[in-house]
Every structure is written in structure tokens, then in C-alpha cells.
A and B are shown apart, each in its own frame.
Chain A
Amino acid sequence: MCHEILGREGFFIRMDDMLVGSKTMLFCDGVWKGSTRNHIYSISPEGWFHDEAKQQDLTFWVPVDDDFVIVESTCMGGMHVSPFSKCNAPKDLRQGILKSTGSILIMLDYIPILFGEDDIVFYDGRDISVKAFRFPNEAEAKKLSEKIPPRRHLASYRIEDPKEIPFIEGYLSITLRFAIPYYEDGKFYLLIDKDNERRLHEIRHDTEA
């Protein structure tokens, strides 16, 4: 006897021998953290985010008579990676939203990250748990930018120096940028669509009006 877990939502992208999913992360005072700030990522010199598989909570939502019976269990899980879906589909402009308050906190939402099939620890029909993942390199980021919204004028900025990033001050000191982070020669960068800057100005102007 064996069990099979099939996808119920979203999809991943194959790029060469790697899979691409999306992830939300924080870059806070030079440290990479999970979106809830509870987890600090370990990063190898090659730029791989890695963690040992650990026991995690697993909830079974068993369908019973148009309702659910909830059964709590555990599984070996890793760092969660989400699929692309209707909400963050590659063609959707929400891909790679960047938020910042001041110059300290950068939240990277739905950013594309790469992992190998051998690193998969668990799959629940939507999210994958992995032991390791990495950002794309510059060439991969540019390739992904073609799969994600159409980009024409891309510019790179070092993520460790947010003052250099051309943020546009928005509501409650939060600025939004469409960007893809990448890792090259031991440093993290953001690949930002400069064309988008004009669009953001227009959005801000419309909001203020």
C-alpha cells in the first residue's frame, strides 16, 4: 500500500535541473529572516539557504459530509516554498513586490527561489518543504524576469545597501518596488524594473489626488 499526494493548487516552474517556487522573506539589518521574523536563515558561502528537516505540525482536513474533521499529526518538514498561482502567477505584476520602512526592513514578497528535487522533504498538495534553496544568479534572474512580467530596463542594486535602492516614498513610509533578488559573487542584489518607477509615480499621484 502507498499514499500519493497530488497538487490541489498552484504550480512550480522547471528551470534546467532546478524547480522554481515563490517565497516571502525579510531582509532585516543585514540578516535574512522568515516572513514572521521567527526564523533566521543559515546561508552557505555559495548562497544556499539551508536547514535540517525537523518535525513540524501536520493537519489533516478530512472532508466529512460537506464539513471537515480535523486530525492533528506531525511530519518531517523543512523551509516552506509556495507554488505560483492565480494570485502570484508569473505574468502577474505582483511578482516580486518589495516593501520597505525607512531603510531598515525589506520585505520580499512572492520572490522566485530555486531548489533541487533532492532537497524536497514534504509536499502537502500546495507548499513544498525543502532542506535548501537559493536565489537565482544574475543570468537566471534575467531569464526569470522574462517569464515574470515583461521587463525592458532592468537595473541591479546591492540589497545590503538599501539607501542606494531608488525607493519611492509611499503610504506610511512603505515603498513598493517590483524586483527579483539574486545572488552573484557572494553578494545579494535586486533586479529592479526601472520602467515600473514611472508607473508607481502614477499610482502614488492617483492615490494622493
Chain B
Amino acid sequence: MCHEIVGRERNVQYLPFGYELVGTKSMLFDNGIWKSNDWDYTYSVKDNGWFHSSPKEQDLTFRIPLVVGTTEVKSTCMAGMHVAPFNQCNRLEALHSNIMVRSIDPLLIDIDRAPVLFMKDDIVFFDGEDVSVKAFRLPTEYEVREIANIAFHASLGEETFSCRMEDCTEVLSDRMYNHFCYLYGFPYYEDGKFFLLLIDLLRRKYVSRNLRARGVLHSDG
């Protein structure tokens, strides 16, 4: 006998990228340290930029459907760092901010749905939506432009600018409002350093106008 876990929703999937797969992850860059978005977990990052963690026992909830409602059964499984798939909302993410920068000391960058790459062999668990992996990495600048184009329909041209994550407060100083700044972009890793590839606001309007013209966007984005 064997069990199979199959993806539970259509239009929710990971992307192939060379020999790797791409999913999305929400993380915090807190005073130079990468943390999970609930602050509970500090990531270990190797010199080559790979985030890694040994599989550990995690809570697993079975939500079993009944004629009316569901019943919950608690269990555990060996799992790793969670990576979410792309979905329809991610694909329209180009219309919203997904990065929050707080400039007051210490620097905090909250990144939502950043594309991350992982190997098939690093998959520890799959619950029908999220995968758990032993290791993942941020894309390089070249890769992030390719992924943005494929996954987010955000063709990135000259209307983008990059800044080192540690230096983003200075670069974004004229955009700060009460020490906070909301942006749209992607983190990447190049030559041992972490950067943000940010899309200019004017570019966002251009993207919105294009999407509206193509009928993808109906309301004012």
C-alpha cells in the first residue's frame, strides 16, 4: 500500500527553471539577518548563498472532509523550510507592493512572495500546496529578471534599479514616509551580497496601463 499527495488546486504550481524549481517565500531581513516572517526562525546562509536547514519534526494537521464540515487530526512529519507555489494572485502581484522597508534603526526589510529556487532532491514534504525543502537560494540578477518575466508578467527593462539590502535606506531616503517605504521588487544574490531589484513607480504605472489595455486588469491598479 502507498499514499499519494497530489496538488489540491489548479492554477497553483511551481515553475521549472533549468534544473531547479521556483516557488515563493516571505521573509524578513532584520538588521542584516534573514528571519522567517513570523520572527521565530533565523536562517543559516552558506557562503554560496544557499539557505539551508536539516529536516525537523513539524506539526501536521489532517483536515478530513465530512458530509458537513471537517474534522481535524493532529500529527507530525519530517519537514524543512516552507516554499509556496505561484498562483493567480502572485501573477498579478506586479500591481501591488511586496516589500516594506523600515528605515529606523535597526533596518527591517519585509519581503513578501520573493521567488526562491530549490532542487527537486531537496524536497522533504509536500502537503498539496507548500513544499518543505532542506535548501533554497535567491536568484541571481539575471535569473530574477527571467523569473519576474515568466512568473509575474513583469518585463523588467530600464525602469528598475538595484541597491544592496544594507544600503537601501540611503538609496530610498527620498521615498520614505514616517520611516517606512513600500515598494515592488525582488531580492537577489550576486557576488556574495544580497540586493533588491526594485521596479520604479513610473514603471508600475506603465505595467498597470499595459495590463489594463490587455484586459487583465479591470479596476484602477
Contact = CB atoms under 8 A, between A and B. Distances in A.
B123 interface: yes
Is the contact region of chain A dominated by helix, strand, or loop, or is it mixed? Answer: strand
Given A3-B79, A61-B4, 6 more contacts: A2-B61, A4-B63, A56-B1, A58-B4, A62-B14, A125-B6
A101 to B, nearest CB: 24
B70 interface: yes
Contacts of A11: 65-67
A123 B82 CA distance: 20
6 contacts: A1-B79, A1-B81, A3-B61, A5-B60, A7-B64, A80-B1
B58 interface: yes
A58 B14 contact: no
A2 B59 contact: yes
Interface in A73-102: 73, 75, 77, 79-80, 83
A53 to B, nearest CB: 11
B161 interface: no
Contact of B70 (A7, A13, A71, A128): A7
Contacts of B95: none
A163 interface: no
Contacts of A128: 62, 64
B32 interface: no
Interface of B: 1-8, 12-16, 21, 36, 41, 58-67, 70-71, 73, 75, 77, 79, 81-82, 85, 120, 123-128, 130-132
A122 interface: yes
Contacts of B65: 7, 10-12, 83
Nearest to A8: B8
B2 A60 contact: no
Contacts of B6: 8, 61, 125
Contacts of B85: 63
B195 to A, nearest CB: 27
Contacts of A57: 2-3
Interface string A39-61: 10000000000000000111111
Contacts of B41: 1
A89 B4 CA distance: 22
